[in-house]
Amino acid sequence: MEQPNTSEQAVLPLEGILVADFSRVLAGPLATMTLADLGARVIKVERPGSGDDTRNWGPPFSATGSTYFESVNRNKESLCLDLGDAGDRKLARELALRADVVVENFKAGAMARLGMGYEELSADNPSLVYASISGFGSAGGAGLPGYDFVVQAMGGLMSITGAADGEAMKAGVALVDVLTAKDAAIGILAALRSRSVHGRGALLEVNLLSSLQGALANQAQAFLGTGTVPGRLGNVHPSIAPYQLLRCADGPLAVACGNDSQFAAFCRVLGLPGLAAEPRFAGNPERVRNRGELVLLLEQALADAPAALWQERLTAAGVPAGRVAGIDEGLEFAESLGLEPTIEVHDSTGAAVGRQVRHPVSWTPPLPPRTQAPPSLGEHDAPLREWLSGKS
């Protein structure tokens, strides 16, 4: 088979796709930033004067604005439109009709009342891909406000997060918004592919609750398959042992023994080679049943050295293990592996204004880099208004 020429640079796969972004906060903007990173032209419609809610979410603030807003809005153009004003609403509708993709996360029915629901727009633009993002769907949950924190609570994620004897706990990032953004982007890409074959667009409805429950994976299936409701186990895996944080001389170490051979290697490194042969620990089901005894023996051995040393020894033996790192250390680790986790972004003059976490997929041949910093509020108003009003 002929090998690809890695010296060539690929064309951005979504070049020529226009996205009208009527979303705000996290799930919608992250989905549209994904499309922008892949080459789409994304025009972000914002409220005059205040813009996206997250422009004011801080601290922390960087030299150029809210770091929350900046995390999900690069490679976009900002257009301020007052959707309560007839003239601005006409421009917004014109943008939606010119677009290949519309993304919105207004309350159910709001876009239709503005004359920009899917039915209204697709009648004039049948090839439109329209993604509507909500908290709890457009049926019985239409009136419920959809915030990640509340969905983590109501959808079950908090019930399995946190210490076994502690209170329910949210994830350390707005994980449900992130999952929903990825589901929305996947759906949009699939709809664009379908459109290229069949010529018609589609209405996609994505909601935070469904995205969360789709991501509960083995935990949801444990309930569906057995009727037993999973609970909080802290850092312990419900079905694998040892697969948790274990105490060393100076702090915790994450150890993930996914099979019997890894557990046997773990025991050898700890100087406990006979442990893996004991009937109470010989197989994973036995280790899960006898987890308390096992952890006690393992932590007694681990107490002889610091976590960094155990990580080095276990990694050399093929046992997955790692210290608990801060975000700074995690980025440094990725950099040391050659993963290039960040990119430098630039303002409209080409000046570098900071760094951001890059789009996580690497391509061969490499894609042309898109490094436009998140826009200031209304930065592109003048040219976009001219374009939409037919003056340019």
Q: Which position among 88, 177, 328, 381 bears the catalytic label?
A: 177
| Nearest-angstrom CA–CA distance, 241 and 259 | 9
Which residues touch 225 (CB under 8 Å, ≥6 apart)? Answer: none
Residue 383 is which amino acid? P
Cα–Cα nearest to 242, from 259, 230, 256, 253? 256
CA 237 to chain centre: 22
| Nearest-angstrom CA–CA distance, 229 and 238 | 12
Q: Which residues, in sequence order, are bridge partners of residue 103?
A: 21, 131
| Nearest-angstrom CA–CA distance, 386 and 383 | 5
Burial 256-282 (b: 16+ CB within 10 A, else e): ebeeeebbbbbbebbebeebbebeebe
| Nearest-angstrom CA–CA distance, 367 and 364 | 8
* Contact status, residue 377 vs residue 46, Cβ threshold 8 Å: yes
CA 223, 226, 227, 228: dihedral to nearest 10 degrees?
-70
Cα–Cα nearest to 309, from 236, 251, 242, 256? 251
Active site residue 177: yes
Largest CA distance in the chain: 81
Burial 168-202 (b: 16+ CB within 10 A, else e): ebbeeebbbbbbbbbbbbebbbebbeebeeeeebb
Q: Which helix (H) or strand (E) holds 43?
A: strand 41-46
Burial 287-311 (b: 16+ CB within 10 A, else e): bbeebeebbeebeebbeebebeebb
Peptide bond into 145 cis (omega under 30): no
**Residues annotated catalytic, as ranges:** 177
